[in-house]
Amino acid sequence: MANPSLLILAGDGIGPEVMAEVKKIIAWMGSRRGIRFSVSEDLVGGCAYDAHGTPLTDETMARAQAADAVLLGAVGGPKYDKLDFSVKPERGLLRLRKEMDLYANLRPAQCFDALADFSSLKKEIIAGLDIMIVRELTGGVYFGEPRGIFPDNEGGRVGINTQRYTTNEIRRVARSAFELARRRNNKVCSMEKANVMESGILWREEVQWVHDNEYPDVELSHMYADAGAMQLVRWPKQFDVIVTDNLFGDLLSDCAAMLTGSLGMLPSASLGAPMKNGRPKALYEPVHGSAPDIAGQGKANPIACILSFAMALRYSFDLGDEAARVEKAVEKVLADGVRTADLMGPEGGKPVSTSGMGDAIVTALDASLA
């Protein structure tokens, strides 16, 4: 079998810096575990605009469609702020998500013990936390029609957005959540506002339908999204997988992510329908942006990008053991007190550079084989 293909789009700002550390892990997997990828690289975002006048060329889009997985760094920066909306760096990312039809956005919120003090919540509430938020990414109020700002009947204006979900849109993201739960602790909590929104009633009924007909072995509960927000900060460890719509997921996943500390630690995956080879269309990327304030200084934390690659190992390549190996290496390095600047506590100390963190993780991977 040919090696699975991985398209790397490092992007702008700290994107290439953190991606350089991921490449060390990819190389390690090849040399020490015999797991080889056919890696290619291309441009996205501001650097693509500089080279081609567009944040994503048709050729790059076609390569992304053909790849077994896409790994993205970050896009954007002040240099591109004044560009026309149609060619802004973010348009490249949005085009990838839209044309690959990546409807399930996976955002883990995992608390490494060594960083439990970073949370704004008490340590006992957060230590050992490991939850996954699955956010519907291609439907709902961000896309529904009609939308716009119109004159109203009283001489003023009216702003309209439409929350709209179909059976198919709900069922396919529910399936993603149930599949994930089976690989984890077998529990799904679905969140909507069925008490005040018809789309919420449909959401609840369809998620229940998928459960009853296809995943009766998974424990399913329903919660109103506002109550879910409260429960997330009251006792987050009650959850395993949360599935929710685009708007609520936007808020709830940011809230859950910040339970665990720095932006430099947060990976994500966006998955679509299975391809011919059974793998889902997939884009893996850190949650953070291009961090222009620290770009080019060797200060960026590469862990979010490295953990995004670990998600690719697990969800695109069925290499859960190797993903866990990478995650354990990160945990070990943090437990040993290795910190990039964003992870320095008030007690201070000397931070390592971006490449120092990558090297420490490779050393921990070596140690995992000893």
Question: Which residues are near ligand NAD by CB under 6 A?
Answer: 14, 18, 74-77, 90, 93, 263-264, 285, 288-294, 300-301, 304, 342
Residues belonging to the active site? 142, 193, 226, 250, 254
Residue 113 DSSP SS3:
helix
| Token pair of 298 as six digits | 């060797």
Alpha helices by DSSP H, listed for the chain, are 15-33, 46-52, 58-66, 89-99, 123-126, 167-183, 198-214, 225-234, 246-258, 303-315, 320-335, 354-368
- Residues composing the chain: 370
Identify whether the C-beta of residue 255 lies closer than 8 Å to the C-beta of residue 232.
yes
Catalogue the E-assigned strands of 59-143: 69-74, 104-110, 130-136
Contacts of residue 358, defined as CB under 8 A and 6 or more positions apart, other chains included, come to 20, 21, 24, 25, 302, 306
Alpha-carbon gap, residue 311 to 300, rounded angstroms = 20
Single-letter amino acid code for the residue at 25: I
